[in-house]
Amino acid sequence: MRHVVWIYFLLFFIGVSLIGGSVLTTYTQFVEEGPLTEATEVVIPKGLSLKRTARLLKEAGVINSPSVFELGVRASGNTMKIKAGEYQFPRRASAKMVMDILTGGQTVIRRFVAPEGLTSAQIVALMDLYKGLTGTVENIPRNGTLLPDTYHYSYGDTKESIIRRMQTAMARTLDELWRNRDPNVPFTSPNQAVVMASIVEKETSLNSERARIASVFFNRLKKNIRLQSDPTVIYAVTDGRLDLKRRLTYKDLKIQHPYNTYVIYGLPEGAISNPGRASLEAVLNPIESPYIYFVADGTGGHVFAATYEEHQKNVQNWRRIRKNKAALAAAKKVGKAASLPVPRAVPENVRVGTVSVEEVAEMVDDAATEGDSGSGG
């Protein structure tokens, strides 16, 4: 069959070439290297005729001659086999190779990356930044129903289709992990596990810490101590947006809200984010620990404590770290504005520009003591 096609192909070339030129010249133009100097992506819209497709490829610099390309496609019997979509054509691709790519449906595979810990609204907003995704998401899914991951798509796929895939992936993952959960976890439903995992997800980005942070919350639940997780306060203060652009204050911790775990006992009524698989695993197969508290360690991680006294020492250390960082940052900013060099360690009582280090430290002191009570989350 293949030989028959190429015999027809050559006969067609011969017939046309008798009118416009030599067979060898026409065929050579179809199989010779193309004009592309680097790989190029082109979108072929749906319903585009062969003639307009050839013209589009010429305008994109993919082929040299629209007429030679059109002739080759017709001669090979592929006129109706060209598929719409986004294609990547390699450097120096011949017109024949371009035809093979278009008829083979080898469209460009794009990736949508949904990071762990985003709300559903943030994930939908993120989709607007990805080229090729079409349509709108009419109804924002509930937090905790989308599984953060990398999803492949082709140009023209809808945002709704990605959302459905994320929902299916979360349902499948949660079902698997729930069936294999530790029988001692204090959850009566998979949704409760998602709520807990959503808090753990917002507390840390370190895989090594998720299980320990989960253990703190489990221990607090057992002792009937409020979870006191800062991300739940941020969720309450921002009405679910999680985009607070300042530090939490003690006033924030007292806000009456069903998601504020400094006020309520137990879990909030819903998830505050979309947790990833690692956080779901951490809360469904928890480790045992004596920890009741944790606080930032100044390096992106946390230090844990089993007693309030130990926790207070950790908090004081964190305050010193944060105050020193804020003081040095402020001193450098003042020094830069005054065009003065700032030493690595600024001596006490030395003024930088018009502000002393003590004054800088005093300015940041309030910020350095905010949000350090409770579990320290």
Q: 96-133: per-residue pLDDT in tens?
A: 999 999 999 889 899 999 999 999 999 999 999 999 99
- C-beta separation of 352 from 331 below 8 A: yes
- C-beta separation of 201 from 281 below 8 A: no
Pairing of the two strands 40-44 and 85-89: antiparallel
pLDDT at 341: 56
Distance CA 73, CA 68 (A): 9
pLDDT at 298: 82
- Would you write out the chain's pLDDT as a tens digit for each of its 377 residues? 555 445 555 555 555 554 445 556 767 889 999 999 999 999 999 999 999 999 999 999 999 999 999 999 998 899 999 999 999 999 999 999 999 999 998 898 999 999 999 999 999 999 999 999 999 999 999 999 999 999 999 999 999 999 999 999 999 999 999 999 999 999 999 999 999 999 999 999 899 999 999 999 999 999 999 999 999 999 999 999 888 989 899 999 999 999 999 999 999 999 999 999 999 999 999 899 999 999 988 888 999 999 999 999 999 998 888 888 777 877 777 766 555 555 444 443 333 333 333 433 333 343 333 444 456 65
Domains in the chain (CATH in brackets) are 2-104 (3.30.1490.480), 110-174 (no CATH), 186-291 (no CATH), 292-377 (no CATH)
The pTM for the full model equals: 0.76
pLDDT at 9: 52
Residue 183: half-sphere exposure toward Cβ, Cα within 13 Å:
0
Instruction: With CA atoms as reference, report the closest residue to 79 among 101, 51, 107, 98.
Output: 51
Give phi and psi for 113, each to the nearest 5. -105, 115
pLDDT at 10: 54
Q: Give start and end residues of each alpha helix (H) in 133-276.
A: 159-179, 190-203, 207-222, 230-237, 250-253
Q: How far lies 290's CA from each of 182, 208, 217, in Å?
A: 18, 17, 11
